[in-house]
Structure 1
C-alpha cells in the first residue's frame, strides 16, 4: 500500500526531536493500525497527521480518487462531517468575545422570525450543547432545505424541558452557528471563510470548495462503494459542511492547544469552546468538542463516541459554572458524511494530537482505536 511521511517544522513551537518518537519509530505504529483498517473497511484513501511537541508528521495511504488514481497527500481535501461543529462553536465563542452575543441570550433574540416560538425560552448555549429540548439528529425530510428550515423551528415543540436532556442534533448546533454568524452581520460561509478561518491561519479549509481547488477534493465512497459527496441540506454548512486537509487540521489542533499564539478574541473563543458545561457518564460536553480525563482506557473512549451517545437522550446535570480547561484531558470529535469519516483528538497538557481523515464513512470505534494507539505511543 502506498504511503508517505513528511514532517513540518513549526518554528514558533519547535522543540528538540529527542522529546518525541522519531519518524522511523512512529511509522510502524501508524502502519500497524492503518493498513489492516483500510483492508477491513474497504477504505480507498486515508491521511493521518500526528502532532507532538511542536512537530507534525504526515502518513498518507491510498488514493483520493479511484478514477484519477491521484494519491492521498496531507493537502488532499476531505469532508470532515461533524468536526465542522467545532468550527461553528469557535465562531460562536468569537462572536461572544467581540461583544456580538452572549451564550445566555435567548435564541430568538438574534432572529426576530423565531419570536413567539419555543426558541424564545431556549438559550444559545442550550442549542450549542444539544440541550434545547429534543431537537432531532437530522431535520425531517420536508424541512431539510433553506426554504423550510425556519418554519420548522417556528413550529417545533420541545419534548423535554430545555436544559435537562442531551440529544445530539445537527439542527441544534447548526442553528447556533447560523445565529452566531448573523450576530456578526455575515452569512455563515462568509463569516467562516473571511473571518474565522483566516484568523486561525487555515488557508486550505472551506465551506464551499473553490473551482480551482476541486482537483484536490477527494472522492468519497458510500457503503456500496459508489462515488458520493455531501448533499445540500438545512444548516449543512454549520453542522457538517467543512472541507479541509490533514495539514490544516493539524494547524487547527495546534491553535487549540496553543491559543496564546492567536489574537485575544480568538484566545477567548477557544477558551469558551474548551469549557465544560455538563457531564454525561465519563464525557464532559464542551462547545463542539467533548472531553475526557487523560489517560483514558480505550473502551471508555469508544463508549463516549458510540451510537447510543449520538442517538439516545441523556439526562444532564449542569456545572454551577463552566469548567475551564482542566489540566489533563483529551478533547475529541468525530465526523461523518455519506462518503467520508474523520476523527480529531488531542491532549493539550502533553502537546500531542492526531487527525485521521478517510474518504469512506466507517465505524467510530475503529477511528478511536487508531487514534488511541498512536497517542499512547507518544511520550507525555
Structure 2
C-alpha cells in the first residue's frame, strides 16, 4: 500500500513550471483578497497593486483609469505618487552626497546665499531631509505662489523648536533639501530626476512632467465629490509630491531598493544613504519608528497597530519628539521600509522587506484612507514573509 501511495505521489508531482504558476496564482489570490474589497468600500475607480517575491513579480489591475472613457487600468497606467515622490528626493540628495557635491551636514545657505543667517539656515540638510529643521509646516501658505515669495517666506519663517529635537512632517522641509541637492548638481530637480535618476533605475514610465505622448496613459484622479482632478503645480512640488509613475515601474524601483548591487556605485551609495536611519521618533512610537531620507522604517515583524500609528495623522499633522541617531543606523534586512503618498485625487503606498526580498506597491486614483492601504499591505507582506 505504501509503495502504491509513493507511486501516486511521483505520478502527480508538479513540474517546476507548474509550481511557479501555482505560486503566481497564490500571490494573485492574496492580492485580490487584501486589496479587492477596497475598491467598493472606498469607491475607488481604479487601482494597480504590484508584488515582488524574490525574482517574481505579480501585478493586479482593477477598475478604470478614467470613468468617462472607461479606460481600464493596466500595469503601465500612470498614477500620481504624491509623497512617495519624497523617496526619489531622498535618493537624489544621497546621490549628490555620494558624488561629493554636498555633505548632509551642510546648511542651505551655503547653496542659497539669500538664506544665510536666517532661522532655516541653522538646520542642516540632513535635518531638512528628515523633517527635524525646527517645525517647518506641512504646506507652504496659500500666498506662496512663486519662487521669490518662497525665498521670502523662508527668510521670515520662525521656528518652534531647535533643529533636531522634533519631527514635523513637511513639504517645505524636504522640498528645500531636494532643491539644494539639485542646485549642487547644477540642474533643476525635475530635469535631474527625468534625465539621470529615473534612467539609472530603468524607469521608462516615470515622470515629473508627463509628456504629451504619454497623456493617454495618465489616469484621472477623483476628488471626494467625484470630480476628475490632477495635481496642481506649486513651490517645490517636484521634490515633495510631483512624480507620476506606473505599477510596473514602481515595482522595479522597489526591486532595486531591495537589491541595489546592480546600480552604478554612486547611485548604489545614494540608495544606502536614503535607507539609513537618522532619527528615532518617540515617545508615541516607543522608539520604534526610524526616519530616513524619504523612507520610514520599523523593525520586522511590526505589529499592524504600530504601523498604523506610524502612518497616522498624529505623525503627519503634528510634531513628535525626535532624537538624532549618532551614529546613524545603516540599512538593515531586519526592517520594513515604507512610504505613503496622496494628492487630491490619488493614493499610494510602497513597502518592502530587504531581509525577505519582498516588496509591494499600491497605486489608486482615489485618495482612499491610509489605514485601509496599510492594513491591506501588511496582510500581504506578513503572509508572504512566512
Which TM-score band applies after superposition, normalised by the shorter structure? over 0.9
SS in 1 for 2:297: strand
Normalising by the residue count of structure 2, what TM-score does the alignment of the two structures yield? 0.92
Alignment of 1:76-155 (within 5 A): 76-155=77-156
Tell me how far apart the structure 1 counterparts of residues 106 and 162 of structure 2 sit (CA, whole Å): 17
Q: Deviations over 1:328-365 (max 9, x none)?
A: 11000000000000000000110001100000001110
Q: In the alignment, which of 343, 353, 356 is matched to residue 349 of structure 2?
A: 343
Q: Residues 333 and 356 of structure 2 are in contact (CA less than 8 Å); yes or no, is this contact kept in structure 1?
A: no
Q: Which residue of 2 aligns with 1:285?
A: 291
Alpha-carbon RMSD = 1.5
Higher mean displacement: 144-153 or 18-27: 18-27
1:325 aligns with 2:326: no
Normalising by the residue count of structure 1, what TM-score does the alignment of the two structures yield? 0.94
Q: Residues 94 and 268 of structure 1 are in contact (CA less than 8 Å); yes or no, is this contact kept in structure 2?
A: yes
Tell me how far apart the structure 2 counterparts of residues 42 and 143 of structure 1 sit (CA, whole Å): 33
The Cα shift of 1:144 comes to: 4.0
Q: Which residue of 1 aligns with 2:163?
A: 162
Q: Which residue of 1 aligns with 2:310?
A: 304
Larger Rg: 2
Q: Residues 48 and 356 of structure 1 are in contact (CA less than 8 Å); yes or no, is this contact kept in structure 2?
A: yes
Structure 2 unaligned residues grouped into runs of 5+: 1-15
Q: Residues 207 and 241 of structure 1 are in contact (CA less than 8 Å); yes or no, is this contact kept in structure 2?
A: yes
Q: Which residue of 2 aligns with 1:38?
A: 39
Tell me how far apart the structure 2 counterparts of residues 256 and 151 of structure 1 sit (CA, whole Å): 37
The Cα shift of 1:374 comes to: 1.1
The Cα shift of 1:19 comes to: 8.4
Q: Residues 292 and 331 of structure 1 are in contact (CA less than 8 Å); yes or no, is this contact kept in structure 2?
A: yes
Q: Residues 146 and 233 of structure 1 are in contact (CA less than 8 Å); yes or no, is this contact kept in structure 2?
A: no
Structure 1 unaligned residues grouped into runs of 5+: 1-14
Q: Residues 137 and 170 of structure 1 are in contact (CA less than 8 Å); yes or no, is this contact kept in structure 2?
A: yes
Q: Residues 77 and 219 of structure 2 are in contact (CA less than 8 Å); yes or no, is this contact kept in structure 1?
A: yes
SS in 1 for 2:341: strand
Tell me how far apart the structure 1 counterparts of residues 268 and 37 of structure 2 sit (CA, whole Å): 39
Tell me how far apart the structure 2 counterparts of residues 310 and 145 of structure 1 sit (CA, whole Å): 25
Give the total of aligned pairs.
366
Q: Residues 82 and 334 of structure 1 are in contact (CA less than 8 Å); yes or no, is this contact kept in structure 2?
A: yes
SS in 2 for 1:291: strand
Tell me how far apart the structure 2 counterparts of residues 379 and 121 of structure 1 sit (CA, whole Å): 43
The Cα shift of 1:256 comes to: 0.4
Tell me how far apart the structure 2 counterparts of residues 16 and 290 of structure 1 sit (CA, whole Å): 37
Q: Which residue of 1 aligns with 2:382?
A: 376
Q: In the alignment, which of 359, 370, 383 is matched to residue 353 of structure 1?
A: 359
Distance 1:24 1:112, change over 3 A: same
SS in 2 for 1:27: helix
Q: Residues 19 and 53 of structure 1 are in contact (CA less than 8 Å); yes or no, is this contact kept in structure 2?
A: no
The Cα shift of 1:146 comes to: 2.9
Distance 1:16 1:51, change over 3 A: farther
Q: Deviations over 1:275-299 (max 9, x none)?
A: 0012112211011000001111111
Q: Which residue of 2 aligns with 1:183?
A: 184
